[in-house]
Structure 1
Amino acid sequence: MQLVPTPFLEGSIIVYQPERGFRFGIDSILLAYFLNLKPKDIVLEVGAGSGIISLIALKRFSHAKIFALELETLYIECLKRNVLENKLQERLFVIKGDIRNPPFKPGNFDVVFSNPPYFKSEAGRKSPYEIENITRRDIECDLNEFLKKVNYLLKNRGKFYLVFTALRLAELVYLLKNHRLEPKLLRLVYSYPGSEAKLVLLCAVKEAKEEIRILPPLYIYESRKGDYTEEVKNFLKRIDKN
């Protein structure tokens, strides 16, 4: 499948991604702006895809270095091209590997982040593009196994950031707590005011005490058929920190 370059954030980054099938969406951008990375953090993105979240994060945090774990060969090629195109050879490190058997020592990371598959393997109508089915459904690794491996990878007090479907929030919180990943920060995402929550942005901390902060809601659009909100428009502006 052909890879095509997409100028993004008003041309401040170039993202190679598949011409057809699964391409990054607004959820990845929201997660990139939900992250908070400290200068000495050892950081991992799991299931990096084309790397859009890491690319934005590296623009936002000029001190950051990120390991990008990805299994699919097509996305490995995207990642490698994006590293070169954006001159990130010293800051973004592509690792081909499987979260089910991660190629890292336990407790290696201060921060892990991911935009994991939202739906169970049997849910909904399947895409004609198998790569999209793998990306959207937990065909290769279900949520329980995924969070077990996140716990394995994080240091004590390490942080896990993710964006996920709000429809499975109760299940997500239950499984996080089962794997000693305590939800600490949560923000619900709505398409527009008056709609039901569509997504959830969540930060959990390994081996932390129970206490959670609920942030103000995030609206993507001003109204049902309206423009992006000012907050989201700001997420799409050029970043020139590097």
Structure 2
Amino acid sequence: MDFLKEDERLDYLLAEDLRIIQSPSVFSFSLDAVLLARFVYVPIQKGNLIDLCSGNGVIPLFLSARTKGMITGVEIQERLFDMATRSIEYNHLQERLHMIHGDIKDMPKRLGYGKFDVVTCNPPYFPTPSSDEMNENEHLAIARHEILCTLEDAIQASSHLVKQGGKVAFVHRPGRLLDIVTLMRKYKLEPKKIQFVYPKQGKEANTLLIEATKDGNPDLKILPPLIVYNEGNEYTPEIKEILYGT
């Protein structure tokens, strides 16, 4: 297909009747993005949503199947921004979805404070390593490590962008839970629900989903655990429902 570049491919977005451009050398979405897009509250009929650290646009595309609202994605890497834009065009969603090529730290001043009903973010998970430990692939290094965006940057930007009473949802690693809660409260985001994701029964959680309300009252709910694989190394029924709708 002439709109694909270099080693790109066109993949199905599983349960949704959508396609997405991916590249093994640049970016391919993970289960984390799918889980965040299904976990977060969304207004069904209308509203303004924004996804920070969008990568190839996977979360805006997933969210488009859950809401009729307007969705903005923000991505700092030009190549990923380009992939996301072409995926949106391929799916004919330009009227409701659009991408911004830029730094999430600049978005409150650029887009306005308190303009969004929902903010989602799948940020880089890991502190910036020493140069000899860093992935040689610049695209993957920036996506995985806090090179251009720290956890505090992401939470601060989210707080500035969301309306009072609006929702902010992150996916991250359980080891950063206390950092996330501390920073959310610092920026007036009150955690309201948390869900831990486990690779298998009896294993430690390896993924954290958390949603907060801007200026909300303290009242945290811990949702039932989500287990990815059964003993036969197949997806559990809950994950199959999320991925395939069956």
TM value normalised by structure 1: 0.92
The structural deviation recorded for 1:155 is 1.1
Q: Does 2:200 correspond to 1:192?
A: yes
What stretches of structure 2 of length at least 5 have no aligned partner? 1-5
Q: Distance in 1 between matches of 2:16 and 2:241?
A: 14
Match of 1:131 in 2: 139
Q: Does 2:82 correspond to 1:74?
A: no
Which moves more between the two structures, 157-166 or 122-131?
Answer: 122-131
Matched AA of 2:219: E
From 105, 108, 111, give the equivalent of 2:115. 108
Judging changes above 3 Å, is the alpha-carbon distance between structure 1 residues 97 and 7 closer, same or farther for their aligned structure 2 residues? same
Matched AA of 1:220: V
Judging changes above 3 Å, is the alpha-carbon distance between structure 1 residues 125 and 195 closer, same or farther for their aligned structure 2 residues? farther
Q: Distance in 2 between matches of 1:238 and 1:195?
A: 26
The structural deviation recorded for 1:161 is 0.8
Q: Distance in 2 between matches of 1:24 and 1:73?
A: 17
Trace 1:23-172 onto structure 2 (pairs within 5 A). Answer: 23-38=28-43, 39-61=45-67, 63-102=68-107, 103-122=110-129, 125-172=133-180
What stretches of structure 1 of length at least 5 have no aligned partner? none
Residues 27 and 55, structure 2, Cα contact 8 Å, conserved in 1 = no
SS at match of 2:105: coil
Q: Distance in 1 between matches of 2:139 and 2:95?
A: 29
Matched AA of 1:46: L
Matched AA of 2:59: I
Residues 16 and 50, structure 1, Cα contact 8 Å, conserved in 2 = yes
Q: Distance in 1 between matches of 2:147 and 2:244?
A: 35
Q: Distance in 1 between matches of 2:191 and 2:171?
A: 13
Match of 2:3 in 1: none
The structural deviation recorded for 1:7 is 2.2
* Alpha-carbon displacement from aligned partner over 1:191-212 (angstroms, at most 9, x marks no partner): 0110001111110111111110
Residues 26 and 80, structure 2, Cα contact 8 Å, conserved in 1 = no
From 6, 28, 40, give the equivalent of 2:11. 6
Q: Distance in 2 between matches of 1:7 and 1:174?
A: 37
Q: Distance in 2 between matches of 1:72 and 1:126?
A: 17
Q: Distance in 1 between matches of 2:208 and 2:15?
A: 26
Count, aligned residues: 237
Q: Distance in 2 between matches of 1:110 and 1:64?
A: 10
Match of 2:212 in 1: 204
* Alpha-carbon displacement from aligned partner over 1:198-238 (angstroms, at most 9, x marks no partner): 11111011111111011000001113x51001111112226
Identity of aligned residues (%): 32
Q: Distance in 2 between matches of 1:175 and 1:40?
A: 29
